[in-house]
Amino acid sequence: MRIDVITLFPEMVQAVIEYGVVGRASDKGLLQLTLWNPRDYTKDKHRSVDDRPYGGGPGMLMKVVPLQACIAAVRLQSPDARLVYLSPQGSVLKQKQINQAANWKNLILLCGRYEGIDERILQQEVDEEWSIGDYVISGGELAAMVCIDAITRQIPGALGHQDSAELDSFSAGLLDCPHYTRPESINGLKVPDVLLNGNHRLIEEWRDKQALGKTWKNRPDLLEKMELNEKQRKLLKEFIAESE
């Protein structure tokens, strides 16, 4: 997969490909990350990339001309790519969108700065607008890094074991179940017996129950959107009874 990122701070985004899952995917040739700086497409001696908004008010906007030129240059190399603008005004990113994006061959991420970009760029160039949450950060670079990491995890071969992605939180609409490793006891807290008995059917059932229960406790809004089957309803009812 190829991901192009348009950013005023390419060195910042570069860091995501130097570590962990994303770095290994890049080394394997599963991911190609290319960074583009609109500042390289400026014409004035100061290489300015911001301008005042019409109508006044605080803050600046990214300059239209260098941004348009930069987008055009990216599209020459990735003509079929979808362009996603990262901003607080976008639709809040969900695992479903990440899974869909992982199936695209090419993706362009546009990182906003200052007060954002001209509305006409949104209308003419942008295919989708994503937000990573209902809060404001200084620019789209951190959001781009989050998207790159999340998408890379879904690329076949990027993880050591593909089941890791399939069992992640949100992959099935639920939060992940609790996990334990050695030692068996820490400060009097022991690993649940079911995980030690080697009965894989019971272990899987316990994990399903815990995932349902954790979602019920921490993110009940997710359960409201799901249609649980009979077994899941039974497990959730058992979890609630045990909790009480």
Q: Is 153 a catalytic residue?
A: yes
Tell me the three-class secondary structure of the chain, residue by residue: CEEEEECCCHHHHHHHHHCHHHHHHHHCCCCEEEEECHHHHCCCCCCCCEECCCCCCCCCEECHHHHHHHHHHHHHHCCCCEEEEEEEEEEECCHHHHHHHCCCCEEEEEECCCCCCCHHHHHHHCCEEEECCCCCCCCCHHHHHHHHHHHHHCCCCCCCCCHHHHCCCCCCCCCCCCCCCCCCEECCEECCHHHCCCCHHHHHHHHHHHHHHHHHHHCHHHHHCCCCCHHHHHHHHHHHHHHC
Q: Which entry of 40, 115, 127, 204 is annotated as an active-site residue?
A: 115
Q: Which entry of 128, 129, 149, 168 is annotated as an active-site residue?
A: 168
Q: Is 168 a catalytic residue?
A: yes
Q: Which entry of 88, 128, 129, 219 is annotated as an active-site residue?
A: 88
Q: Is 53 a catalytic residue?
A: no
Q: Which residues are catalytic?
A: 88, 115, 153, 168
